Amino acid sequence: MAVIKPTFTQITSGLRFPEGPVAMPDGSVILVEIERRTLSRVTPDGKVHVVAKLGGGPNGAAIGPGGRIYVTNNGGLKFLERPGKLFSIGQADDYVTGSIQVVDPETGKFDMLYDSCDGRKLCGPNDLVFDRAGGFWFTDLGKTRQRDADRGAVYYAKADDGALLVFPPVRAGADRVGQRTLPGREGGGRRGPGRLSDVRLARRGQRRPHLRGHPDHGRGQRHLAGWQPGRSVHAARHDGDQRLLRWA
């Protein structure tokens, strides 16, 4: 089997815990810097420009309707810095809530779109992806504190502040999301290995029923790689074929 050895070129450095890169038509890359609490733009010449100071902990980004940037904000993390590295070590001291923010990439103006669902605050939104219908999936990893931690979820939302639906079958947290299946990753870390699984979707924002005795029982979710029960969902992505993939 042939081994591909890609060539990497470093464009810039010094970013403060970057996540969620979005390739823009002008050749620049928009991304979040969690520790810096900004949405930033890296131009082809390697210069970093702050688009917006979002506060909290901007964790993921995606282009939505009208070219606006939708950001999952985890509310803020506490960091430990070592030479050349940043480590997240828990919930920020000034944490209030997680949220979904919408940013105009040209002006830097932003608004908060969602910060709760059915009366429950978002804990730590992690990443998001739009589907073909114009809605988006996002994952909420929850927050970790000294003596306890949240259980997270996957959510489906409309881009116009119309509705936010919790997607009930997940454990806690996620990373990337997507169309007719939602892929994702769950957990791992100190609690052991994680897993890659997918969840089949019936229609926009809905999981296919998988109750015992239902014709679809046993086909609503499957594990694709790795397995350890009770892990937290860290990422998800849509594959365009009626499935939601999750990596734990």
Q: What residues does CATH 2.40.10 cover in the chain? A: 15-114
Q: Among the listed ranges 123-127, 141-145, 232-236, which one has the minimum average pLDDT value?
A: 232-236
d(CA 1, CA 158): 44
Q: pLDDT tens across 108-138, in order?
A: 999 999 999 988 999 999 999 998 888 999 9
Q: Under a CB-based contact definition with an 8 Å cutoff, are residues 196 and 246 in contact? A: yes
- The structure tokens 């397995």 sit at 227
Q: Is 125 exposed, middle or buried (0-12, 13-18, 19+ CB in 10 A)?
A: buried
pTM of the model: 0.77
The residue ranking higher by pLDDT, 68 or 5, is 68
Select from 117, 137, 121, 130 the least CA-distant residue to 75: 121
pLDDT at position 111: 97
CATH class, range 15-114: mainly beta
pLDDT at position 86: 94
Q: Of 54-58, 153-157, 222-226, which has the strongest mean pLDDT? A: 54-58
Q: pLDDT tens across 154-167, in order?
A: 899 999 877 788 86
Select from 49, 40, 157 the least CA-distant residue to 98: 157
pLDDT at position 196: 54
Is it the case that residue 204 has pLDDT exceeding 80?
no
pLDDT at position 12: 97
d(CA 151, CA 120): 12
CA dihedral (236, 74, 137, 115) in degrees, to 10, reads 160
pLDDT at position 164: 83
State the chain's mean pLDDT as an integer.
Answer: 79
d(CA 233, CA 126): 10
The residue ranking higher by pLDDT, 229 or 128, is 128
Q: CB count, 10 Å around CB of 29? A: 17
Distances from the Cα of 7 to the Cαs of 4, 11, 47, 243, in angstroms?
10, 13, 21, 33
Q: Under a CB-based contact definition with an 8 Å cutoff, are residues 236 and 196 in contact? A: no
Q: Is 88 exposed, middle or buried (0-12, 13-18, 19+ CB in 10 A)?
A: middle
